[in-house]
Amino acid sequence: MANRKPFIAGNWKMHKTCTESVETAKRLKEIGAGLTDIDIMIAPAFTSLYAVFDVLKGSNILLGAQNVFWKNEGAYTGEVSPVMLTSVGCIYAIIGHSERRSYFQESDELINQKIAAAARNGLIPVFCIGETEQERDADKTKNVLDKQLTKGLQDIALDDLKTLVVAYEPVWAIGTGKSATTEQAQDAHAFIRGKLNSILGSSMAEQIRILYGGSVKPGNIGELMKTPDIDGALVGGASLEADTFGEILKYRG
């Protein structure tokens, strides 16, 4: 894993009221105390961000948003800008999640604008890519990843991408209970790192952390993390219960 620090992130999606988010964050703060050998992030709903940030102050758990708009301000009803997110304590923003791509028709071009806007404003993009089951069955996985990476990072200044995090999430494994085998996941991660090498250069490609997302749970995180190119996990359902997420955070026993 070179010298890349492991990174475990929890995406709470459209779950938890503000009160529920605060209670879960309090418990995670207890669980995460002392876990200094990994980076930890949770991404509650927009409505809970500031309240959760208040709970997490002084802890080693960082705050992320589940989405971000590509302008800093303007007449864009319902959107949330990068500067708004940093103002409530966000360090990360998840961009290009498969649910945003499928339910809200987010294109590679739009995702590119969001990554650029986040990075310009000091938010670390967690850039999600991955293939559908049909694309995998048609042996198009690497073509899809190549296109998503190339278009997603197009024309963004290298300096703005120094902190980039990439999350490989095979769409067929998200919320389905299916998970890529360790070999499938490592193969995809190795391809992604090779592509990052060609886009950004070898030095940055070796620094960038690539997370696996797709039905990650306490029972499979250990094996995934033993591979050379998997640097962490973007966890969905299993991050909703603090104690279950805590087991994932403590994957090294």
User: pTM for the complete prediction?
Assistant: 0.96
pLDDT of residue 196: 98
Burial of 166 (0-12, 13-18, 19+ CB in 10 A): buried
Please say if the pLDDT value at position 1 is more than 80.
no
Asked if residues 93 and 85 have their Cβ atoms less than 8 Å apart, the reply is yes
pLDDT in tens, 147-162: 999 999 999 999 999 9
Asked if residues 66 and 11 have their Cβ atoms less than 8 Å apart, the reply is yes
Angle (CA) 144 145 147, round 5°: 65
**Bridge partners of residue 168, in order along the sequence:** 129, 212
**For residue 86, what pLDDT band results from cuts at 50, 70 and 90?**
very high
Burial of 182 (0-12, 13-18, 19+ CB in 10 A): middle
* Residue in 94, 113, 101, 98 with CA at minimum distance from that of residue 7: 94
Q: Which two tokens stand for residue 134?
A: 């049909």
Asked if residues 25 and 33 have their Cβ atoms less than 8 Å apart, the reply is no
Mind listing the domains of the chain with CATH numbers? 7-249 (3.20.20.70)
Q: Which residues are annotated as catalytic?
A: 97, 169
Please say if the pLDDT value at position 57 is more than 80.
yes
The mean per-residue pLDDT over the stretch 108-119 comes to: 98
Percentage of residues in the chain having pLDDT higher than 70: 99
pLDDT in tens, 215-250: 899 999 999 999 999 999 999 999 999 999 999 999
